[in-house]
Structure 1
Amino acid sequence: MTRVLILGGTGWLSSRVAQQWLERGAEVTCLARGTSPAPTGADLVVADRSTAGAYADVASQDWDEVVDVSSDPVAVAAASEALGGRAAHATYISSVSVYAASDEVGADETADLAVPWEPGEESDYARAKAACERSARAFAAGVSIVRAGLIVGPGDPTDRFGYWPARFAAAGAEPVLVPAAPGAMAQVIDVDDLADYVVSAGARGFDGVVNAVGASLPLADLLTLVREAAGHRGDVVVVPDEWLSRHGVAHWSGPRSLPVWLPGDMPGFATRDGAAYRAAGGGIRSLVETIGRTLADERDRGVSRSRGAGLDRADELALIEQWRAEER
């Protein structure tokens, strides 16, 4: 029987990876803090990866596959030191944010990475992921590095992509604020397509690096597809990027943002080349299907619920009113 160790296994993506391995008949062990349950059928080893001895219960065993999703370079380094040589194969789930620059349209996996973080230095997400990738290569002789794009779909805890179907659905016949974002692109991958690839690549021992991304398309086209799926009948109020920034609306994610909207100086971020992913067997379902899955999930969770990303409705309507008043 295939023995799989998932460092995580209780979060959004990693629990799906664990579940898919279970469905393949694997013996799955999840090492996590225990704040959420592991999928039914998986063993849960409760451990805090920030503490010494976190891997004591799993480091003396041999594994066919080790999967790590952490963005903490100290945790990944400690795991690779404790488990190095104990796995036939490993998969590390990285990010397209690991690259040093986002100014080249269509860049592939050979683009320069951010300088890896070193202990004692200031860090950011890109440098942390670069350091994690470096450490992950010591897990096994064969390592799959999966640089994921914006992960979307049912259950998304970030509230980013889901903001748009939820907002268009909740607005009904009322207006919705969108950024003008001339030239802005969007590029996503469905969480279940990504999980399927992680498991299938691990099962066959794929050794290499891929950008796990879907097709790149204009942000305006994406929002049109989302609006149509949600059945929105109101006005789409398109506001210049500069005006939004001047009024404190943030890019990409977090409170008081317009999610998935990127600054104009990042033309390459949502245009990564995904040819290697597809050549390695990575699947991409239709964007319309992913939007539909996300919309159904948002309706189940409540399209008007409080969110961790986006504009709250009252603030959005106030911004629309202010913009319209200034344009009169």
Structure 2
Amino acid sequence: MDILVIGGSRYFGKRLIALLRESGHRLTVLNRGSSPAPEGIEQLVADRDDENALASVLAGRSFDVVVDQVCYTPRQAEIARRVFATRTRRYVTTSTVEVYEYEDSAVPVAESALDLASVTVDTGLPWEDPEFLEAHYGEGKRQAEAVFAAAGSPFAWASVRVAHVLGGADDFTGRIGHYAGRIRAGEPIAVPVVNHPATYVYVEEIAAFLAWAVAADFTGPVNAHSHGPLTTADICAEIEKLVGGRSVFQEVEVGEVSPFSFARSYGMDNSRAVGLGYSFTDSAEWLARAVSETLGGQR
């Protein structure tokens, strides 16, 4: 297949590109030029927020599948719908568990919990402001999905709602390092009074899932995560084994809590993906390896 990957220059995106390449697909990468494409892969350079520039660089081009790793706002989604309307038959976006951030469910959250038809799309919000975008990450993804899901879609659209990702020496988030530093120093780790478990996925597994999704034919949203939710204590216990020390949890009723701590319960249900034929691993199989890889890469 002829595949265009938008973004994807680091972390699980670069692993996805490697997997697609190994499978023999013809790959093109589109980004703003800040990161080079892997050797031997064609690179197109354009700002995806500039519709004219994007259409110009894609003139005369079409693809079997477009994989959009960096669609964060409804504006970007609207541009993509127009520009790729006649340029692809399938469009796969990378979304996030954070589209469910307002849920608080006693059972794992299925895709149907979010009715995209009821999501209000507001392209007039200051999506170009990095601080606003960061503070409204889940909302931006929700609205982007709603744009793609709207009636009259020019292509078959699928969205992979990615769980919290762990693993890899190149984990750029600093979350595991944050915990390691506090555990070494015996400093308190702030958690909600009721701290819910969450769903996670190993970095190599989500890359493999996305590669599978590219070749599949399902449409609409699908949750992607390993079996077995994890708690803050589960993750910290693995860190303790590597760095020593002891986790000191401090319950807080208000204020900021540590990463991987959740006052709401919105762990996902991956039954749809399993029913479509994907076999996930269990988080217990890779958690220790994931933590070791990340801390090894930060030393």
- TM-score normalized by the length of structure 1: 0.76
CA shift for structure 1 position 67: 0.6
CA shift for structure 1 position 186: 2.9
SS in 2 for 1:210: strand
Q: How many residues align?
A: 280
Which residue of structure 1 aligns with residue 63 of structure 2?
63
- CA 1:285–1:37 in structure 2 vs 1: closer, same or farther (change >3 Å)? farther
Q: Letter of the 2:293 partner, please give it.
A: A
SS in 1 for 2:89: coil
Which residue of structure 2 aligns with residue 276 of structure 1?
272
| Contact 1:86-1:140 within 8 A present in 2 as well | no
CA shift for structure 1 position 136: 3.2
Gapped runs of 5+ residues in structure 2? 128-135
- CA 1:18–1:99 in structure 2 vs 1: closer, same or farther (change >3 Å)? same
CA shift for structure 1 position 9: 2.8
Which residue of structure 1 aligns with residue 156 of structure 2?
142
Q: Letter of the 1:241 partner, please give it.
A: V
Which residue of structure 2 aligns with residue 225 of structure 1?
238
Which residue of structure 2 aligns with residue 307 of structure 1?
none
Which residue of structure 2 aligns with residue 314 of structure 1?
none
Q: How does 1:224-243 map to 2 (within 5 A)?
A: 224-228=237-241, 230-232=242-244, 234-242=245-253
Which residue of structure 1 aligns with residue 289 of structure 2?
292
CA shift for structure 1 position 83: 0.8
TM-superposition CA deviations, 1:96-150 (whole Å, max 9, x none)? 2223722113221110357243222467323321221133347754222111121
Q: Is 1:152 aligned to 2:166, yes or no?
A: yes
| Contact 2:167-2:290 within 8 A present in 1 as well | yes
Which residue of structure 1 aligns with residue 76 of structure 2?
75
Separation in 1, partners of 2:14, 2:154: 22
Identity within the alignment, %: 24
Separation in 2, partners of 1:190, 1:165: 19
Q: Which structure exhibits the higher relative contact order, with contacts defined as CA atoms closer than 8 Å and separated by 6 or more residues?
A: 2
| Contact 2:195-2:261 within 8 A present in 1 as well | no
> Which consecutive aligned stretches of 4+ in structure 1 deviate over 4 angstroms post-superposition?
137-140, 165-168
Separation in 2, partners of 1:140, 1:77: 12
Separation in 2, partners of 1:291, 1:59: 47
- CA 1:279–1:165 in structure 2 vs 1: closer, same or farther (change >3 Å)? farther
**Higher alpha-carbon Rg:** 1
CA shift for structure 1 position 27: 1.1
Gapped runs of 5+ residues in structure 1? 252-257, 303-328
- CA 1:59–1:116 in structure 2 vs 1: closer, same or farther (change >3 Å)? farther
Q: How does 1:170-249 map to 2 (within 5 A)?
A: 171=184, 175-179=186-190, 181=192, 182-214=194-226, 215-228=228-241, 230-232=242-244, 234-242=245-253
SS in 2 for 1:97: helix
Q: Which shifted more, 175-184 or 190-199?
A: 175-184
| Contact 2:29-2:44 within 8 A present in 1 as well | yes
Q: Letter of the 1:117 partner, please give it.
A: V
Q: Letter of the 2:238 partner, please give it.
A: L
| Contact 1:166-1:298 within 8 A present in 2 as well | no
Q: Over aligned residue pairs, what C-alpha RMSD do you find?
A: 2.6
Q: How does 1:111-122 map to 2 (within 5 A)?
A: 111-113=113-115, 115-121=119-125
- CA 1:74–1:272 in structure 2 vs 1: closer, same or farther (change >3 Å)? same
Separation in 2, partners of 1:180, 1:77: 38
TM-superposition CA deviations, 1:222-279 (whole Å, max 9, x none)? 3223323x151x333232224xx56xxx22xxxxxx22122x3x1x22x221222233
Q: Letter of the 2:99 partner, please give it.
A: V
| Contact 2:176-2:294 within 8 A present in 1 as well | no
Which residue of structure 1 aligns with residue 8 of structure 2?
9
1:164 to 161, 179, 197: 179
Separation in 1, partners of 2:81, 2:202: 28
Q: Which shifted more, 7-16 or 122-131?
A: 122-131
